[in-house]
Amino acid sequence: MKEGELLKVKLYEYLIKTKRSDFTLASEVAVGNVRADVIACSEEKIHIYEIKSKNDTLYRLKNQIETYKKYANAVTLVIDEKFLDQINSLEYLSGIGILKFENNAIKEIRKPKQKSIKKENYFTYWSPIEIKKSLVGFSGWYKLDTVTAYKKLVNALKKDEVIKLTIDRIQEKYSDEFLEIKNKIINRDINELPNRFRENMPNLNIVPIKDSILRFRDIDSL
């Protein structure tokens, strides 16, 4: 198993042990113009974890962290011990949590600061097909392009509704995969983990949620 894969397994083990039961982990999720190693959803909060193993560099880290700050309530950097001294001088890591991987175990160095997410930024977790299909039932929905559909959703939904819909969609899309990964990690069957987890593959086997927002709330028109 590669170093990055091992560190991701250790992170899952750590989170499974330390988090409450009502959470979902998802691996390799597109966030803005980057791909998050792991996201955790629970209690209407989104927490992004960026992994840097000893074989990685910090070359792309600033762009990754600055992007995550826009789309997460909390961000944590999971690093091999070799990076610990190096990150102390990085100002853009202010407010970012730090988990250190050393001696085959993860240790918390610093907790992340919690922050709010702008309403429109939650839609980064919705695929284009999900944005359009959310308007099924409204007149002319099938004629709308993704940008127009997105704008209608932003205007029609309250922030707390967008949060709930987004969290529900993430959990619905990834819960089955998470349970499979969780069981394999608990049972030490790590060589049987799905390829998308092990090989940093894109979300090829994640099915979009195509339900209309009318399932959530009656809206007369958009």
C-alpha of 104 from chain center: 24
Q: Looking at residue 18, which CATH number applies to its domain?
A: 3.40.1350.60
Same domain, 102 and 131: no
Contact 111, 96 (CB under 8 A): no
Taking residues 160-167, what's their average pLDDT? 92
Closest CA to 174 of 34, 20, 40, 64: 40
Separation in Å, CA 92 to CA 15, 62, 63? 24, 7, 10
Q: Which amino acid is at 86?
A: Q
Query: Exposed, middle or buried by CB within 10 Å (0-12, 13-18, 19+), for 116?
Result: exposed
pLDDT in tens, 41-97: 987 899 999 999 999 999 999 999 999 999 999 999 999 999 999 999 999 999 999
pLDDT of residue 209: 54
Nearest Cα residue to 155 out of 91, 205, 219, 214:
219
Q: What angle do CA 202, 121, 37 make, to 5 degrees?
A: 30
Domain match, 7 and 106 both? yes
Number of domains the chain contains: 2
Q: Among 110, 136, 152, which residue terminates a domain?
A: 110
pLDDT at 219: 52
Whether residue 104 is found in the same domain as residue 123? no
Work out the percent of the chain whose per-residue pLDDT is above 90. 55
Decide if 222 is inside a domain.
Answer: no
Within a domain: 154: yes
| pLDDT tens-digit map of 109-150 | 999 999 999 999 999 999 998 898 888 877 788 888 999 999
DSSP 73-119: SEEEEEEEGGGHHHHTT-GGGTT-EEEEEETTEEEEEEPPPP----G
CA atoms of 152 and 108, how far apart (whole Å): 42
Same domain, 96 and 138: no
Residue 36: what pLDDT? 96
For residues 142-155, b (16+ Cβ closer than 10 Å) or e, as one string? eebeeeebbebbee
98 and 150 together in one domain: no
Structural domain containing residue 161: 119-215
> 89 and 137 share a domain?
no
